[in-house]
Amino acid sequence: RKFLQHLGRVTLVTVVTTTGVFYYVTQKDRHPGSQLPFDPTKKNIVVLGSGWGSTSFLKNVDTSDYNIIVISPRNFFLFTPLLPSVAVGTLSPRSILQPIRYMTRHKERQVTVIEAEAKSVDPIAKTVTFADETEVQGEVSSTTIHFDYLVYGVGAETQTFGIPGVKEHACFMKEIQDAEKMKRRFMDCVESAGFPGQSPEEVKRLLHMVVVGGGPTGIEVSGELHDFLEDDLKSWYPELSDHIKITLVEALPSVLPMFSKELIKYTESTFKESKIDILTATMVKEIKDKSVVLQMPDKTIQEVPVGMVVWAGGNKARDVSVDLMSKLPDAQKNKRGITVDEHLRMAGTDGTIFALGDCTSSSYAPTAQVASQQGAYLARLFSQIAKRDRLADELAQAKAEGRDTPALQKQVEKAENLRPFHYSHQGSLAYIGSEKAIADLVFFNQKIATGGVATYLFWRSAYISTLFSLRNRVLVANDWLKVKLFGRDLARE
C-alpha cells in the first residue's frame, strides 16, 4: 500500500509539473511581446507566398536589418506531406495548418502580413500589384507597392496538360480544400452506391476510384484510400466495401521514378497485395462526368466508368510567374519555372529579386526539402547583404573623412563574396498504405533503401518532428490516437 501511495504521489507531481511546463510554454507562445516598429531607414523585403520556401525564410530571417511584408492568398502555412491523410479523415485539416501570424508575431520587428494574391510583378519599377480575392472585401481590394528586395515563393499549380475534363471533374491534391473536396466526394460516392435500387453496374462505377499520376502524391493518396477501406469502410459498409476498387494510372513505364528500383518493386508488390491496380504506360486522355478515357499501352482507347478521379499529374508554373518571366524573355527561357543563379537571384534582374521553391526551374526536384533549405539560405544571405551594406557605408564614410582604411576595405571585399546555395539531400520518404512506407536515405554519404513497417514508424516520427510547431505536433498526435481508438470519421461534411 505504501508503495502504491508513493507511486501515486510521484505520478501526481509529474503530471502537475508537466502540465505546468506545457501551460507556461504554450502561454508564452500565445501572448507574444511587443515588437520593434517599421523603420523607414531600413530596406523593405516583400515576401510572396506562405509555403515551405517563404515560411522557412520568415522563420530564419533577422528582422533587425529589414522591414518585411508578406503577401499570400492564404494566411497560413500548409504541411503538404500529410495532406493525403486529411483526404481520408485520418487527420483533421486544422492539424496541419499553422496561421502565419503565429510565427511573424514572434519576430523582433513587426512583419506586415497581407492576405492577397500577387497579380503582377514589375522587375524594372520594382513593384508588386496584388488583390484581395476572398469573399469579403473592403473598399480597397487591389493595390501596388514598391520593394527593395523581393523573395518570390509562390509555388506551382497542378499540371493538367490541357487534358479535357480534368479541371471540371477531377479532385486535385495540392491545397487543403482539395483534400476536403476529395473526402466529401469519396463519401458521396459510397453513400450514393448504397441508395436503394442502384444497379450492380452503377454500384461498380460509383465505387471505382481512379488516381492519376504515379508520382509520390498519387502513390500516397492510393495508399491512404486503401487504409480507409480496410480499417473503416469494411466495418461500416460491409455490403459495399467489397465493390470498392482503386486504380492508379501512370503514363510512364513505372511509378515513382525518383525512388530506387527495389523500392519501386516493393511498392508495386505492396499495392498488388492491397488489391490496388497499377496501370503503367497508360495515359489519361479525357475525364468525363462518369468515366475516364484511357490510352492503353497497346495504344487502344478504353473508356472506364468511375465514381471519383484524383488528379496528381505534377507541377506547372503559375500565371503570375509566367507573366513575370515574359517580362525578361532573354534570361527566362525555361517554361518549367523561374531561372535563378547560385544565389537564387532571378536571372535577368539586377539582383533584387530572389526566387525559391517550386516556382523555380533548377536541377533540384520540386520538394519541401529543397524549398525550406532555400528559405533558410536566403535568410542567411540577407544577413550577409545587410553586413556588406553596413561595411560599405562605413567605408564610404571613412573615405569621405579622409581616413586610411585598408583593413575596412578588406572586410568589405570579404563581405562582397556571398556564399552560394548548397543543397543537402536528406533522402526521400513516402507512405504507401498498409502501415508501410519507403525511404531512400543518405547516411554518412551512404545510400540506404528501406521499406516496411519500421520505415513507416520512421516516416511518422520524421514528419511529426518536422511539423511547424508544438501546437501542430499535439494536434497530429491526437488525431492519430483518435483514429486508433475510434476509427476515421465517416460523416460527409
Residues that bind ligand NAI (CB under 6 A): 81, 161, 163, 212-218, 220, 249-252, 258, 283-284, 312-315, 365-367, 428-430
The interface partner of residue 314, options being ligand FAD, ligand NAI, none and the CB cut-off 5 to 8 Å by kind, is ligand NAI
Q: Is residue 313 a contact residue for ligand FAD (CB under 6 A)?
A: no
* Contact between residue 145 and residue 167 where contact means Cβ atoms under 8 Å apart: no
Residues 493 and 475: their CA atoms lie apart, in Å, by: 20
Per DSSP, the residues of 90-149 read SS-GGGGEEETHHHHTTSSB-EEEEE-EEEEEETTTTEEEEE--SSS--S--EEEEE-SE
* Contact between residue 265 and residue 254 where contact means Cβ atoms under 8 Å apart: no
Q: Is residue 98 a contact residue for ligand FAD (CB under 6 A)?
A: no
Number of residues that bind ligand FAD (CB under 6 A): 33
Q: Which of 147, 149, 150, 153 binds ligand FAD (CB under 6 A)?
A: 153
Q: Is residue 317 a contact residue for ligand FAD (CB under 6 A)?
A: no
Q: Which is nearer to ligand NAI, 368 or 386 (CB)?
A: 368
* Contact between residue 310 and residue 210 where contact means Cβ atoms under 8 Å apart: yes
Q: Is residue 121 a contact residue for ligand FAD (CB under 6 A)?
A: no
C-alpha cell, 390: 553596413
**Minimum CB–partner distance for residue 79 and ligand FAD (Å):** 9
Q: Which is nearer to ligand FAD, 207 or 211 (CB)?
A: 211
446 DSSP 8-state letter: E
Residues 256 and 218: their CA atoms lie apart, in Å, by: 9
* Contact between residue 339 and residue 332 where contact means Cβ atoms under 8 Å apart: yes
Q: Residue number with the shortest CB distance to ligand FAD?
A: 51
Residues 475 and 480: their CA atoms lie apart, in Å, by: 9
SS3 432: strand
The interface partner of residue 209, options being ligand NAI, ligand FAD, none and the CB cut-off 5 to 8 Å by kind, is none
Q: Which is nearer to ligand NAI, 349 or 362 (CB)?
A: 362
Q: Which of 371, 381, 437, 483 binds ligand FAD (CB under 6 A)?
A: 371
Q: Is residue 155 a contact residue for ligand FAD (CB under 6 A)?
A: yes
The interface partner of residue 214, options being ligand FAD, ligand NAI, none and the CB cut-off 5 to 8 Å by kind, is ligand NAI
Side chain identity, residue 168: E
C-alpha cell, 210: 481512379
**Residue 125 to residues 33, 146, 149, 393: CA-CA distances in angstroms?**
36, 8, 12, 25
SS3 37: coil
C-alpha cell, 5: 501511495
Pairing of strands 127-131, 142-146: antiparallel
Q: Which is nearer to ligand NAI, 114 or 368 (CB)?
A: 368
Q: Which is nearer to ligand FAD, 189 or 429 (CB)?
A: 429
In the range 196-225, which residues lie near ligand FAD by CB under 6 A? Answer: 217
Q: Which is nearer to ligand NAI, 46 or 284 (CB)?
A: 284
The interface partner of residue 83, options being ligand FAD, ligand NAI, none and the CB cut-off 5 to 8 Å by kind, is ligand FAD
The interface partner of residue 250, options being ligand NAI, ligand FAD, none and the CB cut-off 5 to 8 Å by kind, is ligand NAI
Chain positions contacting ligand FAD, by CB under 6 A = 48-54, 71-74, 80-81, 83-84, 117-118, 153-155, 173-174, 217, 318, 320, 357-359, 366-369, 371
